[in-house]
A and B are shown apart, each in its own frame.
Chain A
Amino acid sequence: MRRDVGFLATGVLPHLALVPVWAWAWTFADRTGQWIPALLVAAPLVVLGAPLLTAAQRARHRVLLGVDVAPTAPTAADRTSWAAAARRLPGRLSAAQTWRRVGYHLLLGPLLAAAESLVLTAAAAGLAGATSYGWAWAVPAQARQSRLGYAAQLPCYTLGGLLLLGALPWLAGAAARGESRAAAALLGPGRSERLRRLQQRVDHLAESRTGLIEAVDAERRRIERDLHDGTQQRLVSLAVNLGLVLATTPDLPDGARAAVAEAHLEAKQAIAELNDLVRGLHPAVLEDRGLDAALSGLAARLPLPVRLRVELDARVPPGVESVAYFVVSEALANVIKHAGATRTEVTVRQVGALLRVNVTDDGLGGADPSAGTGLGGLAKRVGAVDGAFHVSSPVGGPTTVTAELPCAR
């Protein structure tokens, strides 16, 4: 309450700041009949005073009420130079926000000042009434008896004062809220300005999200390249050398031969595992030949039959290809791990500006995207490119995973 009252108290003077200006102009014009000089003096004062008062009000709202009245036009550009500011002056004068501001200070200001004074008066009156017994003691006993009607009136004053003080938090709060709402509406950005800013923010977010997705994609490619050029080749080389030992030294002691053969086998298994892992990151053939080729390679390494249909007239953007590949690869990995299926079907087709990816299996069903399987990650990856992701998996099957990815160029 104290905060609200303090806030209201500091509002009276700035709200009345322009009253002398227009009061003077009014009386001057009324007395002399010369409206033009009156306007010539008053108008610049109002136009120059409005931004200052706006800044003062904004600071007052922020410091005393903790409310941020959003600034209007981008202020950074305003400060570039006086010449630029002057060039923008006509535009600013005709802008709706300028008039909303002037209206706030010129017309609403005195009304707000009146409301503030009312609340402050109520506070003072309430305080005076509530403490009326104290005041009464200061008055000579005779006056107290005859004027104040000691017995009858003082209890009424006290009660009235207490009631006023009780209502004060509500009154002050309502007044402060009303005032900050008016300030936000008239000093803050207008509807079109807010929409424009929101749009800017959406654009910016979309841009930074695209950037992030591309960065992640580039990172996957880099890791794939590094592993391919480094670790994989070393492992293959190791396996080849072990194979050479086995093939060229027939007189190895039995124990040594067994150890080398074991190492040879291990190396080959490590290569196979690493291949699966690396290919899941971003296969080179995807970049090179597109989805159909990459997906058929993917299907090749699955231990169950995959019926694959890719109906595309042309390549889709690389980002979409990458997500589509990821969806199929993860969905098929899930099928292998959890579904107990005997066959799966993958279709990829372009429907208008959408790439529709469908993975169906004849497994157990009951897959739950929220249960922490790979499906949740898939939904996020699809969502990141504004795609739609859907899983239908009744208990008993079949499970169908669908992703629709926007792919307009």
Chain B
Amino acid sequence: MRAVIAEDSVLLRVGLVKVLEMGGFQVVAEAGDATALLAAVERHRPELALVDVRMPPSFTDEGVRAALEIRRSRPGTAVVLLSQYVEERYAADLLSADTSGVGYLLKQRVADVTEFVETVRRVAGGGTALDPQVVAQLLLRRSNDPLERLTPRERDVLALMAEGHSNTGIAESLTISESAVAKHINNIFAKLDLPVADTGHRRVLAVLRFLGTSRS
């Protein structure tokens, strides 16, 4: 699979290239800022863009805006945002547009090379991956919303869903059976009032609802 990398720190960019290449990706372009990233995406039409949130010129949220722009102009491109600190607000921005093929992770997760490569592959395959830090925060915050109705175990399951794990992955992490996971997920859907008809997207909707609660 072809990937572009946008990261203004040269040192880290070299490391990211190595990690992606180890994971079987072909890095077709490297960019140091959002403008170069958008140009590279237009030119190379990659399957994946790995984007630093904070880049020149203003060093705030260029990466988030560039990611939204890529999702708009080339919806087929999976985007993984990397950041020194993950902010739930940026995650909400990113996922409010479309939840498939997006990821938002702390930079230090790259260091766990094998897991990182797996996560990126999942996103490139249309999955969602949120950093556990964002997920943890979303579960902690603000009460009196539908999430309050979930049991602690259901919250665990929802968090793992938001991080992008499959039922099998969730069952493994929580050391429960897959059927128990399925049962929990159905309870979550019911408690969050998600329509039964939309089976294909309910998983995504649950994550969205989860994020939606953080938006004031």
A binding-site residues for B, Cβ under 8 Å: 225, 228-229, 232-234, 236-237, 239-244, 246-248, 264, 267-268, 271-272, 275, 278-279, 283-285, 287-289, 292-293, 296-297, 299-302, 305-310
**Which partner residue on chain A sits nearest B23 by CB separation?**
A247
Given A285-B85, A297-B88, 8 more pairs with CB closer than 8 A:
A237-B9, A243-B111, A271-B108, A289-B87, A300-B88, A300-B133, A301-B133, A307-B141
Chain A residues lying within 8 Å of B86, measured Cβ to Cβ, are 297, 300
Q: What are 5 A-B contacts defined by CB distance under 8 Å?
A: A272-B108, A285-B90, A288-B61, A299-B140, A300-B134
Complexed CA–CA distance, A389 and B183 (Å): 51
Q: Is the CB of A246 within 8 A of B137?
A: no
Most chain B Cβ neighbours within 10 Å, of A229, A279, A288, A309: A288
Q: Is the CB of B54 within 8 A of A228?
A: yes
Q: Is the CB of A240 within 8 A of B113?
A: yes
Q: Is the CB of B113 within 8 A of A306?
A: no
Closest 4 pairs between A and B when the two form their complex, measured CB to CB: A300-B137, A239-B111, A240-B15, A233-B9
Chain A residues lying within 8 Å of B141, measured Cβ to Cβ, are 296, 299, 306-308
Q: When each residue 33-75 of chain B gets 1 if its CB lies under 8 Å from chain A and 0 otherwise, what string results?
A: 0000000000000000000001000011100000000000000
Q: Is the CB of B108 within 8 A of A236?
A: yes
Q: Is B112 engaged at the interface, CB distance under 8 Å to the other chain? A: yes
Chain B residues lying within 8 Å of A241, measured Cβ to Cβ, are 15, 18
Q: When each residue 198-209 of chain B gets 1 if its CB lies under 8 Å from chain A and 0 otherwise, what string results?
A: 000000000000
Complexed CA–CA distance, A237 and B18 (Å): 11
Q: Is B114 engaged at the interface, CB distance under 8 Å to the other chain? A: yes
Chain B residues lying within 8 Å of A305, measured Cβ to Cβ, are 140
Q: Is B124 engaged at the interface, CB distance under 8 Å to the other chain? A: no
Q: Is the CB of A275 within 8 A of B216?
A: no
**Which residues of B in the span 137-171 have a Cβ within 8 Å of any Cβ on A?**
137, 140-143
Q: Is the CB of B19 within 8 A of A240?
A: yes
Q: Is the CB of B140 within 8 A of A236?
A: no
Q: Is B110 engaged at the interface, CB distance under 8 Å to the other chain? A: yes
**Which partner residue on chain B sits nearest A301 by CB separation?**
B133
Chain A residues lying within 8 Å of B26, measured Cβ to Cβ, are none
Q: Is B16 engaged at the interface, CB distance under 8 Å to the other chain? A: yes
The one of B9, B14, B88 that contacts A296, using a Cβ cutoff of 8 Å: B88
Q: Is the CB of A284 within 8 A of B59?
A: yes
Complexed CA–CA distance, A285 and B133 (Å): 16
